[in-house]
Amino acid sequence: MNELGRLEDLPQDYRDALTQRNLVPLWPSLRGVLPPHIPTRQTTATHWPYETIKPLLLQAGELTPIEKAERRVLVLANPGHGLEKMQASPAIYLGMQLLLPGEWAPSHRHTPNAVRMVVEGEGAWTTVDGEKCMMSRGDLILTPTGLWHEHGHDGQEPVVWLDVLDLPLVYYMEASYHINGDRQKQIVGRGDRAYARGGVLPTPVFQRTNKRYPMLRYSWVDVKAALESLAADRPDLEAIQVTYVNPETGEDAENILGFYALMLRPGQTLSLPARSPAQVFHQIEGSVEVTVQSQVFALAQADTCCAPGYTAVRLRNGSTEHAAFVFIADEAPLHRKLGVYEVRD
């Protein structure tokens, strides 16, 4: 292949004329935006140990009252993108959020989709579109695009959860904004009760609710039970994994990012193929060693790490007695919608 011309090969007066007219020659930069075989990736494999985050998060609670913070969050930023970008991958934002007893994070809605993976603590709740969702460790709670949501805490100890948003993508599209609202009136009815059993759906004999997101809270108790049942029923399966889905449609729970729970049997090592989307791993229970390229991260409970796209990942449960459980978020739904999803051998 012929070497492409360089910008400095062009006369300065020609370059100045292009700049004055807001024009850019493509050929000097073509390989930067269309590299051969594999995309250029800024996302670097990064590990965020919870034991180093928690003290700083609790200190933030002492330094900044909720009234001045609105959302008291420490962002898990990927150094490959630059910390100021506040993103873990091209389309994923991560943040550890703290709510102290008696606090209320006021109601608002915004264009980015969000989910909350509860890390620790009891007594907190999130109201989404009027539905009160209690928060316990390992629960996943949706706050999809455009839905009003607020957080409150009636318990005695701090509650922490991991925020996962598609904020980087929505911000890049110049479509990111929020609107503040009044305290929500909580309604009767909970989707996690209506859709509590797999294989059956409520039958709307007279009137459909037409809710785009019929289920907002995915209880860890139920998800863990599903994984354990699957493992017991299918000892031949190498990967014991479930996907968080919309129970009415079977599609991904939200439309940009995908969310999954993975179980590693005692002593198991699992090799994941290189896929186009970047992905995030968060330890719910147990501990797992995550190998991304040449880097090895030892995830303890509540630790988080990320892996760039087009990169194989190996997970190893070092315990020979106990299973390990991992929450995964990735960009697969977005890649499928754009037609760029692929798996590399």
pLDDT at 198: 82
pLDDT at 207: 59
Neighbouring CB atoms inside 10 A of 170's CB total 20
**3-state class (DSSP) for residue 262:** strand
Residue 285 lies in a domain: yes
- Residues 57-81 have a mean pLDDT of 94
pLDDT of residue 145: 97
CA 233, distance to chain mean position in Å, is: 29
35 lies in some domain: no
- Across 44-53, 189-198, 280-289, least confident range: 189-198
Say how far apart CA 210 and CA 144 lie, in whole Å. 15
Asked if the structure places residue 191 within a domain, the reply is yes
254 inside domain: yes
User: Average of pLDDT values for 133-139?
Assistant: 97
In whole angstroms, give the CA distance from residue 195 to residue 190: 9
Q: Report whether pLDDT(99) > 80.
A: yes
* Distance in angstroms (rounded) separating the CA atoms of residues 219 and 118: 10
Q: The pTM is what?
A: 0.95
pLDDT per position as a tens digit, 247-284? 989 999 999 999 999 999 999 999 999 999 999 999 99
* Rounded CA separation 92/88 (Å): 6
**Separation of CA 154 from chain center:** 26
Distance linking the first and last C-alpha atoms of the chain: 25
156-189: per-residue pLDDT in tens?
A: 999 999 999 999 999 999 999 999 999 988 886 6
Mean of the per-residue pLDDT values of the chain: 94
Task: Let me know if residue 15 belongs to a domain.
Answer: no
**Alpha-carbon distance values, 68 to 72, 104, 128, 161 (Å):** 9, 12, 22, 19
Contacts of 88 (CB under 8 A, 6+ apart): 43, 46, 76, 77, 78, 94, 278, 280, 306
307: region left, alpha or beta (phi > 0 left; psi from -120 to 50 alpha): beta
Residue 209 confidence (pLDDT): 63
Q: Does residue 29 form part of some domain?
A: no
> What's the token pair of residue 23?
């024009």
Model confidence at 317: pLDDT above 60: yes
How sure is the predictor about 345, in pLDDT bands with cuts at 50, 70 and 90? confident
pLDDT at 208: 59
Instruction: Flag whether 332 is in a domain.
Output: yes
pLDDT of residue 190: 81
Identify the pLDDT of residue 331: 98
CATH number for the domain that contains residue 332: 2.60.120.10
DSSP state letter for 248: T
pLDDT(332) > 80: yes
* 3-state class (DSSP) for residue 77: coil
pLDDT of 227 reads 97
6 Cβ neighbours under 8 A, 6+ residues apart: 28
Q: Is residue 32 part of a domain?
A: no
Burial of 62 (0-12, 13-18, 19+ CB in 10 A): exposed
Give the mean pLDDT of 136-162.
97
Query: In terms of DSSP H, where are the helices of 39-126?
Result: 50-63, 66-69
Q: Give residue 302's domain range.
A: 46-201+211-344
Nearest Cα neighbor of 131 from 197, 55, 207, 195 is 195
- The pLDDT of residue 201: 83
- Per residue in 3-34, pLDDT tens? 788 999 999 999 999 999 999 999 999 998 99
Give mean pLDDT, residues 204-209: 64
The number of folded domains in the chain is: 1
Region 224-250 average pLDDT? 95
Q: How many CA atoms lie within 13 A of 88 on its CB side?
A: 30
- Which pLDDT does position 206 carry in this prediction? 60
**Quick check: helix, strand or coil at residue 152?**
strand
In this predicted structure, the answer to whether residue 101 has a pLDDT above a threshold of 80 is yes
**pLDDT(36) > 60:** yes
